[in-house]
Structure 1
């Protein structure tokens, strides 16, 4: 079992060196989340097909963690702001114009 067997595609972070207990049944590593991420659908997986037990039996499939949250974005303590522009700022009777509202961050 090596770090090559660990799948971090949906992890939003990196894994440090893997170490095992004496029986090689429990492995641990330090997880470091990626900066500036806010995601609640993260998982860490192990590709079991790359593993064998002491009897030579190969693993099958994958094992995956439950979803966990990574929120490493700086604290947001201010509300959104907006800039509003009109394509035409001098309208007469019967004319229309496009109004564009641009926010400084995603809004709902």
Structure 2
């Protein structure tokens, strides 16, 4: 029995060095969960076909742990919010205005296709973030 007999596909973590007790029946290792995960359906399995007992009998099938929870996400209970402001809220033909979208925390993956302009009666230039990705600006035409 060694680490190659352990299946961590659904574990959301890694195991440290395996250590056997004196009779070889109980093995222990330190489990380190993967960062930034929230999952309640984690399991660790052992491929018994790769293991033999002291008489040389090979194991059959797999042994799987019960589900366990891994929640290593940062404690963020506020959720993401955004405030949208226009520098000028009364536009006439040919005018443009700066649009500022301010998030309460840094964001990634934010792009023009995330903006709904169905009732806007205009277009938006490419969004540009500030250095910490909390404030995004564009020009509305």
Give TM class, smaller chain.
0.7 to 0.9
Paired position in structure 2 for 1:94:
none
**Is 2:64 the counterpart of 1:74?**
no
Q: Deviations over 1:41-91 (max 9, x none)?
A: 000000000011111111000000000000000001213325763235239
Moved over 4 A (4+): none
What RMSD over aligned residues (CA atoms) do the two structures have, in Å?
1.8
- Structure number with bigger Rg: 2
How does the TM-score come out when normalised to structure 2?
0.60
Paired position in structure 2 for 1:85:
116
Which 5+ residue runs of structure 1 have no aligned equivalent? Answer: 92-108
Separation of aligned partners in 2, 1:90 and 1:46 = 60
Separation of aligned partners in 2, 1:37 and 1:55 = 42
Determine helix, strand or coil for the equivalent of 2:49.
helix
Separation of aligned partners in 2, 1:73 and 1:46 = 27
Bigger relative CO (Cα 8 Å, ≥ 6 apart): 1
How does the TM-score come out when normalised to structure 1?
0.78
Separation of aligned partners in 2, 1:80 and 1:73 = 15
Aligned residues: 91
